[in-house]
Structure 1
Amino acid sequence: MTHIRCLPIATLPLLAVLTGCSSDPAPPPAPPAKAEAVAHESDLLKITLTTQAQQRLGIRTVRIGDGSVAQIRETSGEVVVPATGGAGVPTGSTSNLAQIGVSQVAAEGEVARAQAQVRLAVIAYNRADALVREEAGSVRGRDEAAAALATARAALDAARAQRALLGPSIASMSNLSTLWVRVPVFGTDVSAIERGRTATIRPLGDDRAAPRAARPVQAPPSANAVTGTVDLFFALDNRDRAYRVGQRVSVALPLGGKTDGLSVPTAAIVRDIYGGEWVYRKTGPDTYVRQRIEVASVADSRALLSRGLERGAEVVTDGAAELFGTEFGTPH
């Protein structure tokens, strides 16, 4: 037989009281950032940040205004070894260094041989001249010695010129304080470039690297008939060994005049994996939306826009990269 045990009636009110005293769980804290889909473009998100999150990310904004930059032509170039004494052929990455080294050794040997010939010719001429003065030799012999000396000196000059055409020695190429940058330019664009002004050099693909000025230099005529380009050369100060021979670099060639437009700090620009350029625009209190732009030119940490924003728009400068990480799930 099953026995059922009943609680005393006096204990029931106590259970009711305990049950009534239980408190509701506390609501979860508000997230520091919230992303909402923008109705007009499904692949963009509207980011809403709390005040604390904006302070933690260091968000700073500026308003877009007018600006102007000098007109430039963006292209690429190659760091090469300068020609010795303003003559000769610059040495680049496509040069056969082994063949150049062999030619340099042969040319240096020819210079040494020509110097020895000059010394012997000087001795022969001095002897012939002394004999003439003592009336013990013929004038013809002295003239022949003078001609031999002139021939030896001409051979020495030719040997030295041939050696200069081969450039500095292979061993010293990595220790040069000045390098040249060879910039191929289409023949139709050469007349638009201000040849007397400096060009701006920076490593290719590194927009954050400090630009470096390179002055124009005279070099032997160089062109490529297949591509229709003419080579321009610029001297680059490389005492800090920041650039290497054969390195590809970005080159900004100066053009005449200036371009006006909307200007934005380069710190506000973020780039996606496909090279697209974006800024984060402030659309309301604590809300930001990524907006595509197109950059026409960059100078002095300012970018001139060809399209994407209107005058007076407010964009993020400090913290743009952090917003980019927040949108794509990389917390900061």
Structure 2
Amino acid sequence: MQRASVFGLAILSLAPTGCGAGSPSAPASKAAHAEPVAHETELLKLTLSRHAEARLGIATVQIGTGSAQAMRETGGEIVAPAWNGGVPAGSATNLAQLGTQQVAADGEVDRTVAQSRLARIALARAEALVREEAGSVRGRDEAAAALATAHAAEETARRQRAMLGPSIATLDAQPRLWVRVIVPAADLAGLARREAVQVSPLGGQGTARTALPVTAPPSANAQNATVDIYYALDNRDRAWRVGQRVSVSLPMGTGPQQGLTVPTAAIVRDIYGGEWVYQRTAPGTYLRRRIEIASSSGGNALVTRGLARGDAVVTDGAAELFGTEFGVAH
């Protein structure tokens, strides 16, 4: 009986104190709270005076229909060529291993050259002894055979070193470099493999250059289901460096596509990669509109969403409007 009374007291001590008949219940707190915000287009309207438009050099163009080559933007890497004066196949992206092999091959060449020099001296000495009738003909013949063996070893070492290509320190000075592009195997059939591509430095600095497709040794990654394709890039001005990351525009095999086109000069990009244009909705009034681009080529971009035919967008002065909106001085 004593245990039962103690247990009952424990239950009473755990009961909430506010459960009396007249006590009000506490309101339940909400787990989440949502409130409406303005649409993004309602926050981006700019109104400029004529003086401000003239100072920013605003110029507009009307959106029309056109065609643009379907392109796919992807990343690439500058690598050393795999042959024709380049490096061996399979080592274009593993320069550390290639450098180790080159150092070992250089050492082997030096060793065989030293052996050839010693064998030449030994043969000259043996021939002199035969002339003085102080040596044997057999010794002279053995020295000649040793020299021939040393010459063969030296020639083999030189050829093996030549197969490893130029030294790592001079790879950037090659007149041609390759661009390696990793493409998913499922997307390989949709690319125009025989057409040239446009290669640009990352960050938008510098102009795009044309790279031509090359027949390279097979290279793929079975684990990631990707295939490596290569393009040759002119490097006579030494503008590219081995290992440099670049942006590559791959042409698709579907050919030119029809649709709304906008000049690429009218497109501005935010820090998240979003693509925008400034649309003139009224005299002196500009609205930043988000667009979606399917492809771009020849200074024009094919727009799939965000604009309608006849809309007026800013070309000259788009970057200045972008800076004005976010308080960046020009």
Please say whether Structure 1 and Structure 2 have the same fold, judged by a TM-score greater than 0.5. yes
- Correspondence 1:74 to 2:65: no
CA contact (8 A) 1:117 1:152 kept: yes
**Is 2:60 aligned against 1:61?**
yes
Q: 179, 182, 189: which is aligned to 1:181?
A: 179
Q: 1:214–1:323: structure 2 CA closer, same or farther, 3 Å change rule?
A: same
| In structure 2, C-alpha distance between the alignment counterparts of 1:168 and 1:153, rounded to whole Å | 23
Letter in 2 for 1:47: L
Instruction: Find the partner of 1:321 among 305, 308, 319.
Output: 319
Give the conservation status (yes or no) of the 8 Å contact 2:64–2:310.
yes
Identity of aligned residues (%): 58
Q: Which amino acid aligns with 2:226?
A: T
In 2, the alpha carbon distance for the partners of 1:321 and 1:268 equals: 8
Report deviation, 1:92.
Answer: 5.0
Q: 1:185 to 1:309 in 2, by over 3 A?
A: same
Q: Who is 1:259 aligned against? A: 257
Q: TM-score when scaled to structure 2?
A: 0.70
Shift of 1:62: 0.1
Cα RMSD after superposing both structures: 3.5
Which stretch of structure 1 is more off in the superposition, 151-160 or 100-109?
Answer: 151-160
Q: How many residues align?
A: 274
Matched letter for residue 308 of structure 2: E
1:293 corresponds, among 291, 309, 330, to: 291
1:83: how far off? 2.6
Partner of 2:102: 104
Distance 1:218 1:52 in 2: 57
Q: Compute the displacement of 1:163 (Å).
A: 2.5
Matched to 1:299, the amino acid is S
Q: Counterparts in 2 of 1:229-240, with a 5 A limit?
A: 229-240=226-237
The one-letter code sitting in structure 2 at the alignment partner of 1:228 is A
Give yes or no for the alignment of 1:88 onto 2:85. Answer: no
Q: Secondary structure at the match of 2:74?
A: strand
Find the aligned partners of 2:215 and 2:154 in 1 and give their Cα distance: 26
Q: CA deviation at 1:281?
A: 0.5
C-alpha spacing 1:275/1:157, structure 2 compared with 1 (3 Å): same
Q: 1:213 — aligned with what?
A: 210
Query: How far has the Cα of 1:204 moved from its partner?
Result: 2.3
Q: Distance in 1 between matches of 2:91 and 2:159?
A: 17
- Structure 1 spans left out of the alignment, 5+ residues: 1-38, 125-140
SS of equivalent to 1:249: strand
- Once the two structures are TM-superposed, the CA of residue 162 in structure 1 deviates from its matched residue by 3.3
The amino acid of 1:59's aligned partner reads: I
* Residue 268 to residue 173, structure 1, CA distance change in 2 (3 Å): same
What code does the residue aligned with 1:306 have? T
**What's the secondary structure of 1:197's corresponding residue?**
coil
Contact 1:296 1:305 in 2 (8 A): yes
- Please give the alpha-carbon distance, in whole angstroms, between the structure 2 residues aligned to 1:196 and 1:157: 40
* 1:51 and 2:44 matched: no
Q: 1:57 to 1:192 in 2, by over 3 A?
A: same
Do the aligned residues in 2 keep the contact of 1:83 with 1:168 (CA within 8 Å)? no
Using the TM superposition, give the Cα deviation of residue 172 of structure 1 relative to its aligned residue in structure 2, in angstroms: 1.2
Distance, in Å, in 1 between the alignment partners of 2:78 and 2:249 is: 14
Distance 1:323 1:152, change over 3 A: same
SS at match of 2:291: strand
Q: Which moved more, 1:291-300 or 1:108-117?
A: 108-117
C-alpha deviation, 1:58, in angstroms: 0.5
Q: Which moved more, 1:288-297 or 1:151-160?
A: 151-160
Contact 1:90 1:167 in 2 (8 A): no
Question: SS state of the match for residue 205, structure 1?
Answer: helix
Q: Call closer, same or farther: CA 1:156–1:223 in 2, change over 3 Å.
A: farther
The residue type paired with residue 321 of structure 1 is A
Q: Deviations over 1:276-322 (max 9, x none)?
A: 11111011122111111111112122111121101110001111111
Q: Which amino acid aligns with 1:312?
A: G
Q: Residues 183, 40 of structure 1: CA spacing in aligned structure 2 closer, same or farther, 3 A cutoff?
A: closer
Question: 267, 270, 273: which is aligned to 2:271?
Answer: 273
| Equivalent position SS for 2:251 | strand
Measure, in 1, the Cα distance between the counterparts of 2:86 and 2:328: 53
Shift of 1:223: 1.2
Matched residue, 1:309: 307
Q: Give the one of 195, 199, 202 matched to 2:200.
A: 202
Report the alpha carbon displacement of residue 328 of structure 1 after superposing the two structures with TM. Answer: 2.3
Please identify, of 182-191 and 289-298, the stretch whose mean Cα deviation from structure 2 is larger.
182-191
Structure 2 segments unaligned to the other structure (5+ residues): 1-37, 124-140
Preserved CA contact (<8 Å) 1:89 1:167: no
* Residues 72-94 of structure 1: per-residue CA shift (max 9 Å, x gap): 22211111122344671365565
Determine if contact 2:68/2:258 at 8 Å carries over to the other structure: yes
